[in-house]
């Protein structure tokens, strides 16, 4: 039952198709909750596209739809020209995508080596496994040291390394990295982004989903900004920062995935911010005040 059909038909970069990924008018939902509304963007072959936006904007949803973990309700998705809309996730993976999902992307109950074996055997076939393992341990020595440890005992950074090792050794056409820097220390994020650069250097296109915008915009050529499940900006990476600022300040509502459009709760809007702060201060003063509280310097408001 171990179908050894995992290898990509052609190594990345040698395709005729100029676009690694085309997302065309895609919408998606989680059960009854709408999450994406008519999203369209592309990722050029061998290029890097950043997908950014605030919390709940739908970024993870896009990455799940692209790799097949979640079905789209409308629209089409094409991978290097091939229509992959509606395909089950494993077929999309075999067609040449890799996904580093949000959170823990490794098997906790399998050892590091078993995690790697699983994907190497599937994508490369039995004869490649030993060689692939060697290359993975060379690129990430930490994994070599921990090869007998279960995936669940690795730290967050080490788990990301493990996910990247899978991709580095057998480069796909497209790598979708979902909040890969979440919860990592700065020095680890550096290492992770180095890994991404290497993978991109080998010809893989990247779709990098991030909340922290600075690093990813550094790496990316194009950017997509999502807000409330729709595209707010689509274009070059250097123009994205300004767009993000604009979106943030224009936001009067704090809507998340799951609440319905049109029933958006009203949150604090910027013009009333001072008012809110004062109200809060009054609330606080009514509360218990410990004897050791330091006096508050007047006028020290947050912007």
Q: 100 near 179, Cβ under 8 Å?
A: no
Q: According to the binding rule CB under 8 A, does residue 6 interact with other proteins?
A: yes
Minimum distance of other proteins from residue 108's CB (angstroms):
6
- The residue (of 114 and 239) whose beta carbon lies closer to other proteins is 114
148 contacts other proteins (rule: CB under 8 A): no
**Which residues, numbered 87-146, are part of the site for other proteins (CB under 8 A)?**
87-90, 93-94, 98-99, 101, 103-105, 107-110, 114, 117-119, 121-123, 126
Compose the 251-290 pattern: x for residues touching other proteins by CB under 8 A, - for all others.
Answer: x--x-xxxxxxxx-xxxx-------xx-xxx-xxxxxxxx
Q: Which stretch binds other proteins (CB under 8 A): 2-10, 13-21, 131-139, 196-204?
A: 2-10
Taking the C-alpha atoms of residue 194 and residue 187, their distance in angstroms, rounded to an integer, is: 11
Q: Which of residues 220-239 bind other proteins (CB under 8 A)?
A: none
The number of beta carbons lying within 10 Å of the beta carbon of residue 270 is 12
Residues 160 and 100: beta-carbon distance below 8 Å: yes
Strands (DSSP E) found in 199-238: 205-210, 222-227, 230-236
Q: Which residue among 158, 165, 174, 243 contacts other proteins (CB under 8 A)?
A: 158
Give the angle subtended at the CA of 58 by the CAs of 40 and 241, to the nearest 5°.
75
Single out the segment in contact with other proteins by CB under 8 A; choices: 11-19, 48-56, 201-209, 217-225.
48-56
Strand-pairing partners, residue 251, are: none
CB-count exposure of residue 288 (10 Å: 0-12, 13-18, 19+): exposed
């Amino acid at each position: 039952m171990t179908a050894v059909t995992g290898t990509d038909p052609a190594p990345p970069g040698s395709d005729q198709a100029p676009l690694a990924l085309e997302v065309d008018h895609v919408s998606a939902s989680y059960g009854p909750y709408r999450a994406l509304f008519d999203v369209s963007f592309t990722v050029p072959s061998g290029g890097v596209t950043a997908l950014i936006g605030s919390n709940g904007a739908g970024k993870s949803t896009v990455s799940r739809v692209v790799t097949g973990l979640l079905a789209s309700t409308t629209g089409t998705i094409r991978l290097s020209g091939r229509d992959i809309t509606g395909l089950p996730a494993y077929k999309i993976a075999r067609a040449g995508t890799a996904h580093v999902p949000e959170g823990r992307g490794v098997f906790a109950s399998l050892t590091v080596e078993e995690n790697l074996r699983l994907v190497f055997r599937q994508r490369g076939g039995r004869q490649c496994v030993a060689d692939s393992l060697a290359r993975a341990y060379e690129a990430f020595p930490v994994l070599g040291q921990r090869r007998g440890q279960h995936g669940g005992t690795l730290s967050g950074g080490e788990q990301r390394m493990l996910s990247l090792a899978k991709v580095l050794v057998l480069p796909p056409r497209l790598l979708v990295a979902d909040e890969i820097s979440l919860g990592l220390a700065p020095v680890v994020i550096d290492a992770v982004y180095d890994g991404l650069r290497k993978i991109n250097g080998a010809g893989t296109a990247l779709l990098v989903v991030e909340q922290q915008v600075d690093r990813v915009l550094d790496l990316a050529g194009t950017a997509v900004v999502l807000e409330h499940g729709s595209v707010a900006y689509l274009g070059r990476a250097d123009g994205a920062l300004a767009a993000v600022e604009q979106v943030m300040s224009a936001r009067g509502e704090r809507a998340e995935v799951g609440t319905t459009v049109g029933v958006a709760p009203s949150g604090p809007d910027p013009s009333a911010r001072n008012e809110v702060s004062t109200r809060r201060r009054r609330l606080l003063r009514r509360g218990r005040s410990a004897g050791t509280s330091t006096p508050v310097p007047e006028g020290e408001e947050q912007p």
